[in-house]
Amino acid sequence: MALPRSIKLTAVTALLAVAAGSVFYLNRHESGASNQSTDDAYVQADFTYVAPQIAGKINQVLVEENQQVKVGDLLATIDNRDFVVAVEAARAQVASANASVASLAARLEQQDNLIHQAQAAVTMDEAELELAKANHQRYRNLAADGSGTVEAMQQAETQLNIRLASRERNLARLQAARQQVAILQADLDKAKAAQAQAQAALAAAELKLSYTQITAPVDGTVGRKSVRVGAFVTTGSPLLAIVPLDAVYITANYRETQLARIQTGQTVDIKVDALPGVSLKGVVESLGPASGVSYSAIAPHNATGNFTKIVQRLPVRIRVDSGQPEADKLRVGMSVVPTIQTRN
Protein backbone atom coordinates (compact mmCIF):
# COMPACT_ATOMS: atom_id res chain seq x y z
CA MET A 1 0.00 0.00 0.00
CA ALA A 2 1.51 3.31 -1.04
CA LEU A 3 1.80 6.04 1.58
CA PRO A 4 0.13 9.36 1.00
CA ARG A 5 2.31 12.08 -0.51
CA SER A 6 1.93 14.31 2.62
CA ILE A 7 3.23 11.60 4.91
CA LYS A 8 6.22 11.03 2.65
CA LEU A 9 7.04 14.72 2.66
CA THR A 10 6.75 14.87 6.45
CA ALA A 11 9.03 11.85 6.86
CA VAL A 12 11.62 13.28 4.48
CA THR A 13 11.53 16.66 6.25
CA ALA A 14 11.99 15.00 9.63
CA LEU A 15 14.92 12.96 8.35
CA LEU A 16 16.54 16.06 6.86
CA ALA A 17 16.02 17.97 10.16
CA VAL A 18 17.58 15.13 12.16
CA ALA A 19 20.50 14.95 9.76
CA ALA A 20 21.04 18.69 9.90
CA GLY A 21 20.80 18.70 13.70
CA SER A 22 23.27 15.84 13.92
CA VAL A 23 25.72 17.61 11.65
CA PHE A 24 25.39 20.81 13.72
CA TYR A 25 25.80 18.96 17.05
CA LEU A 26 28.78 16.93 15.90
CA ASN A 27 30.53 19.97 14.43
CA ARG A 28 29.81 22.29 17.40
CA HIS A 29 32.91 23.33 19.36
CA GLU A 30 33.28 21.57 22.70
CA SER A 31 33.33 24.85 24.63
CA GLY A 32 29.85 25.72 23.37
CA ALA A 33 28.17 23.27 25.74
CA SER A 34 26.22 24.77 28.64
CA ASN A 35 27.85 22.35 31.11
CA GLN A 36 31.53 21.50 31.29
CA SER A 37 32.57 18.41 33.21
CA THR A 38 35.78 16.47 33.89
CA ASP A 39 36.82 13.47 35.94
CA ASP A 40 40.41 14.74 36.21
CA ALA A 41 39.70 16.57 39.47
CA TYR A 42 40.76 16.08 43.05
CA VAL A 43 40.16 17.50 46.53
CA GLN A 44 43.11 19.55 47.75
CA ALA A 45 44.08 21.76 50.70
CA ASP A 46 46.94 24.10 51.50
CA PHE A 47 48.31 21.97 54.31
CA THR A 48 51.34 22.96 56.36
CA TYR A 49 54.36 20.87 57.29
CA VAL A 50 55.52 21.49 60.85
CA ALA A 51 59.28 21.47 61.34
CA PRO A 52 61.49 22.48 64.31
CA GLN A 53 63.49 25.69 64.13
CA ILE A 54 66.24 24.27 66.35
CA ALA A 55 67.93 20.91 66.73
CA GLY A 56 67.44 18.80 69.83
CA LYS A 57 65.92 15.71 71.41
CA ILE A 58 62.15 15.33 71.56
CA ASN A 59 60.97 14.77 75.13
CA GLN A 60 57.19 15.13 74.65
CA VAL A 61 54.70 14.42 71.88
CA LEU A 62 51.25 15.73 72.73
CA VAL A 63 49.19 14.90 69.63
CA GLU A 64 48.11 11.78 67.79
CA GLU A 65 47.61 11.00 64.14
CA ASN A 66 44.32 12.42 62.74
CA GLN A 67 43.79 14.63 65.81
CA GLN A 68 42.24 18.05 65.30
CA VAL A 69 44.28 21.00 66.58
CA LYS A 70 43.90 24.77 66.84
CA VAL A 71 46.41 27.53 66.21
CA GLY A 72 48.85 27.69 69.11
CA ASP A 73 48.15 24.18 70.45
CA LEU A 74 51.30 22.51 71.79
CA LEU A 75 52.29 19.63 69.53
CA ALA A 76 55.66 18.53 70.91
CA THR A 77 58.55 19.79 73.04
CA ILE A 78 62.32 19.64 72.68
CA ASP A 79 64.69 19.24 75.64
CA ASN A 80 65.24 22.85 76.75
CA ARG A 81 67.95 22.58 79.41
CA ASP A 82 70.76 23.97 77.23
CA PHE A 83 68.54 26.84 76.14
CA VAL A 84 67.51 27.68 79.72
CA VAL A 85 71.19 27.94 80.67
CA ALA A 86 71.80 30.22 77.67
CA VAL A 87 68.91 32.47 78.75
CA GLU A 88 70.23 32.74 82.30
CA ALA A 89 73.72 33.62 81.03
CA ALA A 90 72.23 36.27 78.75
CA ARG A 91 70.24 37.72 81.65
CA ALA A 92 73.43 37.98 83.70
CA GLN A 93 75.07 39.87 80.84
CA VAL A 94 72.11 42.25 80.70
CA ALA A 95 72.31 42.83 84.46
CA SER A 96 76.04 43.59 84.18
CA ALA A 97 75.43 46.00 81.29
CA ASN A 98 72.63 47.71 83.23
CA ALA A 99 74.94 48.16 86.20
CA SER A 100 77.64 49.72 83.99
CA VAL A 101 75.15 52.15 82.50
CA ALA A 102 73.82 53.10 85.95
CA SER A 103 77.36 53.59 87.28
CA LEU A 104 78.37 55.86 84.42
CA ALA A 105 75.12 57.81 84.68
CA ALA A 106 75.85 58.38 88.39
CA ARG A 107 79.41 59.48 87.58
CA LEU A 108 78.05 61.95 85.04
CA GLU A 109 75.73 63.38 87.67
CA GLN A 110 78.62 63.57 90.11
CA GLN A 111 80.72 65.29 87.45
CA ASP A 112 78.05 67.95 87.11
CA ASN A 113 78.43 68.65 90.82
CA LEU A 114 82.20 68.87 90.44
CA ILE A 115 81.74 71.36 87.61
CA HIS A 116 79.47 73.48 89.81
CA GLN A 117 82.06 73.36 92.58
CA ALA A 118 84.86 74.36 90.19
CA GLN A 119 82.69 77.16 88.82
CA ALA A 120 81.99 78.39 92.34
CA ALA A 121 85.72 78.35 93.13
CA VAL A 122 86.41 80.41 90.00
CA THR A 123 83.67 82.86 90.97
CA MET A 124 85.16 83.21 94.45
CA ASP A 125 88.61 83.71 92.92
CA GLU A 126 87.22 86.44 90.70
CA ALA A 127 85.81 88.26 93.75
CA GLU A 128 89.01 87.86 95.76
CA LEU A 129 91.03 88.92 92.74
CA GLU A 130 89.04 92.15 92.46
CA LEU A 131 89.66 92.83 96.14
CA ALA A 132 93.38 92.05 95.76
CA LYS A 133 93.61 94.41 92.77
CA ALA A 134 91.94 97.20 94.78
CA ASN A 135 94.24 96.63 97.80
CA HIS A 136 97.28 96.54 95.55
CA GLN A 137 96.32 99.83 93.93
CA ARG A 138 95.54 101.47 97.29
CA TYR A 139 98.80 100.37 98.96
CA ARG A 140 100.72 101.38 95.88
CA ASN A 141 99.25 104.91 96.04
CA LEU A 142 99.97 105.11 99.76
CA ALA A 143 103.54 104.03 99.24
CA ALA A 144 103.96 106.59 96.46
CA ASP A 145 102.96 109.56 98.63
CA GLY A 146 104.73 108.22 101.75
CA SER A 147 101.53 107.44 103.64
CA GLY A 148 102.14 103.68 103.50
CA THR A 149 105.03 101.34 103.76
CA VAL A 150 106.70 99.55 100.92
CA GLU A 151 106.27 96.30 102.83
CA ALA A 152 102.48 96.74 102.84
CA MET A 153 102.57 97.40 99.11
CA GLN A 154 104.66 94.28 98.54
CA GLN A 155 102.26 92.18 100.60
CA ALA A 156 99.32 93.52 98.56
CA GLU A 157 101.19 92.70 95.35
CA THR A 158 101.92 89.19 96.64
CA GLN A 159 98.24 88.68 97.49
CA LEU A 160 97.32 89.84 93.99
CA ASN A 161 99.69 87.31 92.41
CA ILE A 162 98.34 84.54 94.69
CA ARG A 163 94.76 85.33 93.64
CA LEU A 164 95.77 85.37 89.98
CA ALA A 165 97.44 81.96 90.35
CA SER A 166 94.47 80.58 92.28
CA ARG A 167 92.10 81.74 89.57
CA GLU A 168 94.22 80.13 86.83
CA ARG A 169 94.35 76.89 88.81
CA ASN A 170 90.58 76.79 89.35
CA LEU A 171 89.94 77.71 85.71
CA ALA A 172 92.10 74.75 84.70
CA ARG A 173 90.14 72.50 87.08
CA LEU A 174 86.87 73.77 85.62
CA GLN A 175 88.06 73.06 82.09
CA ALA A 176 89.25 69.58 83.07
CA ALA A 177 85.91 68.85 84.74
CA ARG A 178 84.06 69.89 81.61
CA GLN A 179 86.30 67.75 79.41
CA GLN A 180 85.71 64.81 81.74
CA VAL A 181 81.99 65.05 80.92
CA ALA A 182 82.72 64.27 77.26
CA ILE A 183 84.84 61.29 78.28
CA LEU A 184 82.18 59.97 80.64
CA GLN A 185 79.47 60.54 78.01
CA ALA A 186 81.46 58.51 75.48
CA ASP A 187 81.90 55.75 78.06
CA LEU A 188 78.15 55.89 78.77
CA ASP A 189 77.31 55.60 75.08
CA LYS A 190 79.64 52.62 74.83
CA ALA A 191 78.00 51.05 77.88
CA LYS A 192 74.53 51.64 76.40
CA ALA A 193 75.63 49.95 73.17
CA ALA A 194 76.86 46.98 75.20
CA GLN A 195 73.56 47.03 77.07
CA ALA A 196 71.60 46.93 73.80
CA GLN A 197 73.80 44.10 72.56
CA ALA A 198 73.22 42.15 75.79
CA GLN A 199 69.47 42.72 75.54
CA ALA A 200 69.48 41.53 71.92
CA ALA A 201 71.44 38.43 72.97
CA LEU A 202 68.86 37.80 75.70
CA ALA A 203 66.00 38.20 73.23
CA ALA A 204 67.70 35.75 70.86
CA ALA A 205 68.24 33.25 73.68
CA GLU A 206 64.61 33.57 74.79
CA LEU A 207 63.46 33.14 71.19
CA LYS A 208 65.47 29.94 70.82
CA LEU A 209 64.03 28.76 74.13
CA SER A 210 60.53 29.35 72.78
CA TYR A 211 61.40 27.18 69.78
CA THR A 212 61.64 24.19 72.12
CA GLN A 213 57.83 24.28 72.21
CA ILE A 214 56.49 23.28 68.80
CA THR A 215 52.99 24.67 68.30
CA ALA A 216 50.36 24.42 65.57
CA PRO A 217 50.67 27.25 63.02
CA VAL A 218 47.13 26.71 61.63
CA ASP A 219 43.86 25.02 62.48
CA GLY A 220 43.47 21.55 61.02
CA THR A 221 43.95 17.82 61.38
CA VAL A 222 47.27 16.15 62.14
CA GLY A 223 48.57 13.85 59.45
CA ARG A 224 51.78 12.12 58.43
CA LYS A 225 53.11 12.25 61.99
CA SER A 226 56.67 10.98 62.23
CA VAL A 227 57.82 12.61 65.48
CA ARG A 228 58.61 10.27 68.39
CA VAL A 229 59.74 10.77 71.98
CA GLY A 230 63.53 10.46 72.30
CA ALA A 231 64.20 11.14 68.63
CA PHE A 232 66.83 13.74 67.75
CA VAL A 233 65.45 16.23 65.27
CA THR A 234 67.30 18.71 63.12
CA THR A 235 66.30 22.18 62.00
CA GLY A 236 63.78 22.08 59.17
CA SER A 237 63.10 18.33 59.26
CA PRO A 238 59.29 17.77 58.86
CA LEU A 239 57.67 16.24 61.94
CA LEU A 240 54.03 16.21 60.84
CA ALA A 241 51.53 17.92 58.58
CA ILE A 242 48.44 19.89 59.52
CA VAL A 243 45.64 19.68 56.96
CA PRO A 244 42.94 22.40 57.15
CA LEU A 245 39.94 20.24 56.22
CA ASP A 246 37.60 23.20 56.72
CA ALA A 247 39.32 24.98 53.82
CA VAL A 248 39.54 22.27 51.16
CA TYR A 249 39.09 23.14 47.51
CA ILE A 250 39.02 21.29 44.21
CA THR A 251 41.55 21.44 41.44
CA ALA A 252 39.93 20.35 38.19
CA ASN A 253 42.12 19.90 35.11
CA TYR A 254 39.93 20.85 32.15
CA ARG A 255 40.91 20.42 28.53
CA GLU A 256 41.83 23.68 26.85
CA THR A 257 38.95 23.15 24.44
CA GLN A 258 36.50 23.41 27.36
CA LEU A 259 37.68 26.72 28.80
CA ALA A 260 36.30 29.33 26.41
CA ARG A 261 33.17 30.03 28.48
CA ILE A 262 34.41 29.11 31.95
CA GLN A 263 34.62 32.17 34.21
CA THR A 264 35.08 32.89 37.91
CA GLY A 265 31.87 32.96 39.91
CA GLN A 266 30.09 30.25 37.91
CA THR A 267 28.27 27.59 39.95
CA VAL A 268 29.56 24.03 40.04
CA ASP A 269 27.86 20.71 40.79
CA ILE A 270 30.31 18.33 42.45
CA LYS A 271 30.02 14.56 42.62
CA VAL A 272 32.43 12.73 44.90
CA ASP A 273 33.48 9.17 44.11
CA ALA A 274 33.65 8.33 47.82
CA LEU A 275 30.14 9.72 48.49
CA PRO A 276 27.76 8.05 46.05
CA GLY A 277 24.46 9.85 45.66
CA VAL A 278 25.82 13.05 47.19
CA SER A 279 25.96 16.28 45.15
CA LEU A 280 27.83 19.25 46.56
CA LYS A 281 27.78 22.84 45.41
CA GLY A 282 30.75 25.03 44.63
CA VAL A 283 31.94 28.12 42.78
CA VAL A 284 34.70 28.65 40.23
CA GLU A 285 37.30 30.61 42.19
CA SER A 286 40.07 31.06 39.63
CA LEU A 287 41.64 29.73 36.45
CA GLY A 288 45.25 28.61 36.40
CA PRO A 289 47.81 30.77 34.56
CA ALA A 290 49.51 27.82 32.82
CA SER A 291 49.06 24.18 31.96
CA GLY A 292 50.55 21.56 34.23
CA VAL A 293 53.26 20.54 31.77
CA SER A 294 54.40 24.18 31.50
CA TYR A 295 55.96 23.85 34.96
CA SER A 296 58.04 20.82 33.96
CA ALA A 297 61.80 21.13 34.23
CA ILE A 298 62.13 19.69 30.72
CA ALA A 299 59.81 21.25 28.13
CA PRO A 300 57.45 18.61 26.70
CA HIS A 301 56.71 20.62 23.55
CA ASN A 302 58.28 19.08 20.50
CA ALA A 303 60.23 21.55 18.40
CA THR A 304 61.92 19.12 15.93
CA GLY A 305 60.95 16.09 13.90
CA ASN A 306 57.47 14.68 13.72
CA PHE A 307 54.74 16.37 15.76
CA THR A 308 51.56 15.00 17.29
CA LYS A 309 49.21 17.57 18.74
CA ILE A 310 48.01 16.80 22.27
CA VAL A 311 45.19 18.72 23.90
CA GLN A 312 46.53 20.40 27.03
CA ARG A 313 44.80 20.66 30.39
CA LEU A 314 44.71 23.74 32.62
CA PRO A 315 43.78 23.78 36.32
CA VAL A 316 40.55 25.40 37.49
CA ARG A 317 40.24 26.07 41.22
CA ILE A 318 36.78 25.45 42.67
CA ARG A 319 35.70 26.58 46.13
CA VAL A 320 33.32 24.27 47.97
CA ASP A 321 30.39 26.19 49.44
CA SER A 322 30.40 26.26 53.23
CA GLY A 323 27.52 25.01 55.35
CA GLN A 324 27.05 21.71 53.49
CA PRO A 325 26.98 18.82 55.99
CA GLU A 326 28.45 16.31 53.55
CA ALA A 327 31.39 18.62 52.82
CA ASP A 328 32.89 17.67 56.20
CA LYS A 329 33.53 14.21 54.76
CA LEU A 330 35.85 15.49 52.05
CA ARG A 331 39.48 14.45 52.38
CA VAL A 332 42.52 15.62 50.46
CA GLY A 333 43.17 13.48 47.40
CA MET A 334 39.58 12.29 46.84
CA SER A 335 38.49 12.06 43.21
CA VAL A 336 35.54 14.21 42.18
CA VAL A 337 33.60 15.03 39.03
CA PRO A 338 32.80 18.77 38.88
CA THR A 339 30.29 20.12 36.36
CA ILE A 340 30.50 23.87 35.73
CA GLN A 341 27.31 25.65 34.69
CA THR A 342 28.76 27.85 31.96
CA ARG A 343 25.34 29.17 30.92
CA ASN A 344 25.45 31.36 34.06
87 and 74 within one domain: no
- pLDDT tens-digit map of 184-213: 888 889 999 999 999 999 999 999 999 999
88 and 187 within one domain: yes
Cβ atoms within 10 Å, residue 97:
21
Give me the CATH number covering residue 171.
1.10.287.620
248 and 232 within one domain: no
The per-residue pLDDT of the chain, averaged, comes to 84
pLDDT of residue 107: 83
Cβ neighbors of 249 (< 8 A, separation 6 or more) are 43, 44, 45, 285, 317, 318, 319, 320
What whole-number percentage of the chain has pLDDT above 90?
54
Domain contains 283: yes
162 and 113 within one domain: yes
Domain contains 9: no
Give the global pTM. Answer: 0.69
pLDDT reading at 115 higher than 80: no
Domain contains 325: yes
Cβ 36 vs Cβ 336: under 8 Å = no
Cβ neighbors of 29 (< 8 A, separation 6 or more) are 257, 260
Q: Which residues of 29-41 are buried (b: 16+ CB within 10 A; e: fewer)?
A: eebeeeebbbeeb
63 and 41 within one domain: no
pLDDT reading at 97 higher than 60: yes
301 and 283 within one domain: yes
Domain contains 10: no
User: Which region, left, alpha or beta, applies to residue 109 given φ > 0 means left and ψ of -120 to 50 means alpha?
Assistant: alpha
153 and 89 within one domain: yes
- pLDDT tens-digit map of 242-277: 999 999 999 999 999 999 899 999 999 999 999 999
Mean pLDDT over residues 325-342, rounded?
94
Domain contains 296: yes
108 and 175 within one domain: yes
Residue-range definition of the domain harbouring residue 328: 32-46+244-341
- What's the total number of domains in the chain? 3
Of 124, 111, 117, 126, nearest to 178 by C-alpha is 111
- Cα distance between residue 23 and residue 21, in whole Å: 5
Distances, alpha carbon 32 to alpha carbons 19, 21, 266, in Å: 20, 15, 15
204 and 111 within one domain: yes
Residue positions counted in the chain: 344
334 and 230 within one domain: no
Domain contains 12: no
pLDDT reading at 328 higher than 60: yes
235 and 135 within one domain: no
Give me the CATH number covering residue 282.
2.40.30.170
pLDDT of residue 263: 93
Domain contains 266: yes
- pLDDT tens-digit map of 82-95: 999 999 999 999 99
pLDDT of residue 299: 67
Domain contains 334: yes
Cβ 268 vs Cβ 37: under 8 Å = no
DSSP letter assigned to residue 71: T
